[in-house]
Chains A and B, each alone.
Chain A
Amino acid sequence: MTQLAFVIDLKRCIGCDTCVVGCKVEHRLPDGAFRLQVFDAERAPTPRRPQGGHPVASQNWLPTMCHHCSDAPCADVCPTTALWRRDEDGLIVLDKDKCVGCQRCGEACPYDALSFDAHTGTADKCTACDHRRDEGPACATVCPTGAIHFGDLHDTDSNVHRLLATHEHRRLNESSQAQSNIYYLAP
């Protein structure tokens, strides 16, 4: 049984936005649209706000996109089944033909991963680059520090499996019980 997932190494993420740009270019997202964003902790988009004052300071960056939750609230609330979890690999798939743009999904998502495609009036989100399964997601390919990993959680030979077995990791907003499939390694 496959469950595709991301592992993101917060120690190596330098907040350079290469993943954001790579995703945007790959999917030809129009101006103002993003499927992947990088925040610093506690959500503070540019200018990045570190914690603490001078000279004691710390700052981490947080890439986030669709978490392809195993118990996705978006799929739960979608009135037209436009959002559904694909059994064979665990990705949350959005069928824009079925979407009526009610934005219940965006409201329900604990990770703000859903945005709005103004061209079609439908929801929009990360697809884990389903159209290029061999190369893997664009964000992982372009990250210059190799902070983003993608693969099958249940494949013991995969990077993601190995990293989770050997590193301290967390998911965001764990109490949402959405069962996120983005695991973050300690910063």
Chain B
Amino acid sequence: MTASTTVPQTPAVPRAVSHGQAYQPVTEVDRVVRTVCSPNCMGTCGVYAHVKDDRIVRLAPAPFPDPGYERICLKGIAMATQRLHHPDRLTHPLIRTGPRGSGQWRRASWDEALDHIAERLRDIAQRHGDTANSWITATGNYGFKAGTSTPRIANTLGGTCFTSMALSGDFAGSVGLITTLGVPFMGNDISEIGGARYLLNIGRNAADTAHSEMHFIFDAMARGMKFVMVDPRWTRTAAKADEWVAPHPGTDIALALGMIHVVVRDGLMDEPYVHAHTNAPMLVDTASGHLLRERDQHPGGGDVCLVWDAAVQAPRPVGTASQPQLRGRWQVRDAKGVTRDCETGFEANWRVWSQWTPARAEAVCGVPAEQIERIAREYATTSPAWIWLGAGPQRYHHGHITWRAYATLAALCGNIGKPYAGLSLLDGSQIAMVAAPPNDWIAPGGRRGAVLPGTQMLDLIEQGRPHPIKSLWTAGIGLASQTPFFKRFVERTLPHLELFVVTEQLMTDAARHADVVLPCVSYYEDDWDLVGGGENWFMQLRRRAVPPVGESRNDMDIYAGIAERLGHGEHWRIDPEQSCREILATHPDPRIRAVDWDTLRRDGVARVPVPRPYTPFQDMKFPTPSGRIELYQERFAEIGEAVLDHKGPLENADPRHPLRLITYKHVHTTHSQHTVLPVINELIGRPRLQIAPADAALRGISSGDRVRVFNDRGAFVLPAVIDPRARAGTVSLPQGFWQRHFDAGHPSDLGHIPDNAVQSRVMETNYPIWDVVCDVRKEQTA
């Protein structure tokens, strides 16, 4: 074979196999350990780690009560066999000896490192208060204890914990769900998709990012389910779908509105459902945008909203009308004798939706009107019809509206709360575990620290508000590659921090800038953690397959060392095995409590009992102000988002930045965890900027040319490749690469987190990763 696979010219590309071992499969191993691989792919695959001489030589799928969950993937195999002994693997605590980022370290013992950190934390707390010490973690490890250890230590010490969901770019859509359905997450059980007849997938590139679940989809397709994939990009999933719908990036809302228009126009709405389960019939004061309430009509009346009763031609409290109306405008006289123009929430929305003809939708999103018409009709008339929402479409400034729009579509068709239908993102026991962890666990001793939004971390640190922050400790987060502000962090924020600690497995770009780097174990070196199902209802046990590499410790032990030194050790002296049992037994969620410990301990996996088919909102009770699906959201009336309307990306092509930049997720890595592994490098090499022929020609760019991608916030340099399949006006590259993979800069340097009023009001503004425009030019050769 030719040397056609590119080996990148990066520093320290490790030789994975020694000469003597090459081509010799291992036929006998020392032990096989059942454990769990759990990065943010959400696969939470059970694995058999085959161990020889304390190295994992093979990974195989481990058994589950349902064989449909027996799977692993290239990333899991690569990580288990190539990450633990990677040349950049951290094995001992390091304390810096030179300036930050200079790469000068001295090896320290754990005692010395922990003493060093504890002393500084204590000192900072004394001068600035306990909340001056801060922590942040993200999705590097979905083990329950590992993942919750960081907020746990922040609470123990009364420190500050920064949130990270929005910083990961995953939260906007949840805001839309919260405002519409009252919950940030929901999902069917993907293993039951065989019961659906129609799958409308909005941006969940499953074959790339959830390939462990693809076989369920294939089985369903074999049974006759039609699979429609909505994605601006041609992906593996689009290639496997029955039909590909390709809106322009960031215009999914327009597509949804076009579909909603068709559904309403053609009488395909489930009107009884909309009447009964949404707030669409409720009356709105057209001038103020507020919902009418009983107390407006009768002094002493309550907060109950009103609907128009055609039987009596007057407003009545919801639930009491004999002929409630979905559409209409009337004049209503209130208790003070003032007459107001009122309309139903539906009418208010329809005023907008009626304008969103398929032709208009096409003009905005680029999907042919005929296709919009057809898909809308198919979705509305096929049952059960399942919408699967991905994170991609919400990675724009108004991303919360995207998920709201599809929740609206689903609601209008009466699909939410129906088996094998509804709206699905992801749900499973992992989310159930962490959504509301046991209080005693997450806030031991009842103490809680402060919580601040991670997306504003730099501003808050630099400005010292709402309180001074003088230390930051990160664990399980790819700060340098997965957030948009690392360049600024190093240049402007870090000087405000007296202490910067990073717990890591490899010397990442972020770890390089730390004052203290602490080596933590990989999944395979850790013992006794609980791993819930990312997209399933199982519980698994993480068990140790190989001894910790070097002096690595797990997050719990690392933080325990600090807690001891700061006088809070009693909450951190935890029996590893017993604590697993207790966490399950004391968890607020009864489904988690129902996990059978003996089975789990014996088999490494146990079921989390849930009703089947797993159907969110089957009881049609929504934790919203109205208790219903909120198609009309009055509290955003001043912002103009009470009704569902289209808002495109914040940044759009302008003469200086005519191109959109998309850093896409792909099968070869989960975030930044796998891009430095040798076999992954061999398969995909360094990233190249994919650019359409017309855009390249305009700039005199040929494949292989080095190009600079830039906007006013930053730039990065890499080779380009002409991609005839690329959409004109959009440049893209795979995400997850480190600084070493680029000739200069990093794609995240071009990002920003502009405040979004709705998202901030609900919880936090999301990082809109792809709401970025830029330009590209050929880099002059040196």
CB distance from A171 to the nearest CB of B (A): 21
- CA A49 to CA B723, docked complex, whole Å: 9
Contact: B244 with A144, CB < 8 Å?
Answer: no
Contact: B234 with A28, CB < 8 Å?
Answer: no
- CA A135 to CA B723, docked complex, whole Å: 41
Residue A117 at the chain B interface, CB threshold 8 Å: yes
CB distance from A10 to the nearest CB of B (A): 11
Residue B215 at the chain A interface, CB threshold 8 Å: yes
Binds A, one of B400-408, B424-432, B502-510, B675-683: B675-683
Q: A22-B74, A29-B17, A145-B218 are in contact. Are A46 and B683 (CB under 8 A)?
A: yes
Interchain Cβ contacts under 8 Å between A and B, 22 examples: A14-B214, A17-B667, A17-B683, A18-B74, A18-B77, A20-B74, A21-B679, A25-B59, A25-B77, A29-B17, A30-B15, A31-B16, A31-B682, A32-B3, A47-B688, A47-B690, A53-B725, A114-B1, A117-B23, A119-B19, A144-B72, A144-B214
Q: Which B residues, 614 to 659, have Cβ-Cβ distances below 8 Å to chain A?
A: none
Residue B578 at the chain A interface, CB threshold 8 Å: no
Residue A60 at the chain B interface, CB threshold 8 Å: yes
Contacts of A14 in B (CB 8 A): 207, 211, 214, 236-237, 239-240, 667
Residue A50 at the chain B interface, CB threshold 8 Å: yes
Contacts of B776 in A (CB 8 A): none
Contacts of B690 in A (CB 8 A): 47
Contacts of B211 in A (CB 8 A): 14, 16, 18, 144-145
Residue A81 at the chain B interface, CB threshold 8 Å: no
Contacts of B25 in A (CB 8 A): 26-28, 129, 131-132
B728: nearest chain-A partner, CB-CB: A54
1/0 contact trace for B26-59 toward A, CB 8 Å?
1100000000000000000000000000000111
Indicate the member of B15, B23, B690 with the most A CB atoms within 10 Å. B23
CB distance from A92 to the nearest CB of B (A): 17
Residue A15 at the chain B interface, CB threshold 8 Å: yes
Residue A152 at the chain B interface, CB threshold 8 Å: no
- CA A106 to CA B2, docked complex, whole Å: 11
Q: A29-B17, A32-B682, A146-B215 are in contact. Are A16 and B4 (CB under 8 A)?
A: no
Contact: A16 with B15, CB < 8 Å?
Answer: no
Contact: B5 with A45, CB < 8 Å?
Answer: yes
- CA A47 to CA B212, docked complex, whole Å: 22
Contact: A30 with B22, CB < 8 Å?
Answer: yes
Contact: B236 with A54, CB < 8 Å?
Answer: no
Contacts of A27 in B (CB 8 A): 23-25
Contacts of B27 in A (CB 8 A): 131-132
Contact: A142 with B239, CB < 8 Å?
Answer: no
Residue A161 at the chain B interface, CB threshold 8 Å: no
Contact: B684 with A11, CB < 8 Å?
Answer: no
Residue B71 at the chain A interface, CB threshold 8 Å: yes
Contact: B58 with A25, CB < 8 Å?
Answer: yes
Contacts of B234 in A (CB 8 A): 50, 54, 57, 59
Residue B175 at the chain A interface, CB threshold 8 Å: no
B734: nearest chain-A partner, CB-CB: A47
Contacts of B307 in A (CB 8 A): none
Residue B60 at the chain A interface, CB threshold 8 Å: yes
- CA A144 to CA B211, docked complex, whole Å: 7
Other-chain contact of A21, B22, B71, B78, B685 (Cβ < 8 Å): B78
1/0 contact trace for A121-148 toward B, CB 8 Å?
0001000010110010010011011100
Interface bin, chain A: 35 or more
Contacts of B246 in A (CB 8 A): 54-55
Residue B668 at the chain A interface, CB threshold 8 Å: yes
Q: A55-B246, A144-B215 are in contact. Are A31 and B725 (CB under 8 A)?
A: no
Residue A3 at the chain B interface, CB threshold 8 Å: no
Other-chain contact of A142, B72, B218, B244, B678 (Cβ < 8 Å): B72
- CA A112 to CA B237, docked complex, whole Å: 28
CB distance from B335 to the nearest CB of A (A): 57
Residue B9 at the chain A interface, CB threshold 8 Å: no
- CA A131 to CA B57, docked complex, whole Å: 15
A19: nearest chain-B partner, CB-CB: B74
Residue A115 at the chain B interface, CB threshold 8 Å: yes
A129: nearest chain-B partner, CB-CB: B25
- CA A80 to CA B24, docked complex, whole Å: 23
Contacts of B678 in A (CB 8 A): 31
Residue B313 at the chain A interface, CB threshold 8 Å: no
- CA A32 to CA B15, docked complex, whole Å: 10
Q: Which B residues, 229 to 248, have Cβ-Cβ distances below 8 Å to chain A?
A: 234, 236-240, 244, 246
Contact: A59 with B239, CB < 8 Å?
Answer: yes
Chain B contacts to A: CB under 8 angstroms: 1, 3-5, 7, 13, 15-17, 19, 21-27, 57-61, 71-74, 77-78, 81, 207-208, 211-212, 214-215, 218, 234, 236-240, 244, 246, 667-668, 678-679, 682-685, 688, 690, 721, 723-725, 727
Residue A169 at the chain B interface, CB threshold 8 Å: no
Contact: A119 with B236, CB < 8 Å?
Answer: no
Contact: B727 with A11, CB < 8 Å?
Answer: no
Contact: A28 with B24, CB < 8 Å?
Answer: yes
Contacts of B208 in A (CB 8 A): 16
Contacts of B26 in A (CB 8 A): 28
Q: Which A residues, 83 to 119, have Cβ-Cβ distances below 8 Å to chain B?
A: 106, 112, 114-117, 119
CB distance from A46 to the nearest CB of B (A): 6
Contact: B22 with A16, CB < 8 Å?
Answer: no
Contact: A57 with B4, CB < 8 Å?
Answer: no
Other-chain contact of A141, B21, B60, B684 (Cβ < 8 Å): B60
1/0 contact trace for A150-171 toward B, CB 8 Å?
0000000000000000000000
Contacts of A6 in B (CB 8 A): none
- CA A132 to CA B238, docked complex, whole Å: 36
Query: Beyond A14-B237, A31-B678, A57-B238: 7 further Cβ-contacts under 8 Å?
Result: A28-B21, A29-B22, A30-B19, A46-B685, A47-B690, A129-B25, A144-B73
- CA A22 to CA B77, docked complex, whole Å: 7
- CA A26 to CA B58, docked complex, whole Å: 6
CB distance from B21 to the nearest CB of A (A): 5
Contacts of B240 in A (CB 8 A): 11, 14
CB distance from B381 to the nearest CB of A (A): 24
Q: A17-B667, A144-B211 are in contact. Are A28 and B23 (CB under 8 A)?
A: yes
Residue A58 at the chain B interface, CB threshold 8 Å: yes
CB distance from B657 to the nearest CB of A (A): 22
Other-chain contact of B77, A30, A46, A124, A142 (Cβ < 8 Å): A142
Contact: A18 with B72, CB < 8 Å?
Answer: yes
Contact: A124 with B215, CB < 8 Å?
Answer: no
Contact: B23 with A119, CB < 8 Å?
Answer: yes
Residue A183 at the chain B interface, CB threshold 8 Å: no
Contact: A50 with B23, CB < 8 Å?
Answer: no
CB distance from A119 to the nearest CB of B (A): 5
- CA A108 to CA B237, docked complex, whole Å: 36
Contacts of A144 in B (CB 8 A): 71-73, 211-212, 214-215
Residue A67 at the chain B interface, CB threshold 8 Å: no
Q: A32-B682, A119-B22 are in contact. Are A16 and B73 (CB under 8 A)?
A: yes
Contacts of A116 in B (CB 8 A): 1
Contacts of A15 in B (CB 8 A): 236, 667
Q: A11-B218, A27-B23, A28-B22 are in contact. Are A142 and B5 (CB under 8 A)?
A: no
CB distance from B41 to the nearest CB of A (A): 11
Other-chain contact of A115, B1, B71, B73, B236 (Cβ < 8 Å): B1
Residue A149 at the chain B interface, CB threshold 8 Å: no
Contacts of B685 in A (CB 8 A): 46
- CA A124 to CA B208, docked complex, whole Å: 31
Contacts of A145 in B (CB 8 A): 211, 214-215, 218
A16: nearest chain-B partner, CB-CB: B667
Contacts of B16 in A (CB 8 A): 30-31
A24: nearest chain-B partner, CB-CB: B679
B233: nearest chain-A partner, CB-CB: A54
- CA A55 to CA B27, docked complex, whole Å: 49
- CA A49 to CA B726, docked complex, whole Å: 11
- CA A125 to CA B635, docked complex, whole Å: 66
B668: nearest chain-A partner, CB-CB: A17
Residue A34 at the chain B interface, CB threshold 8 Å: yes
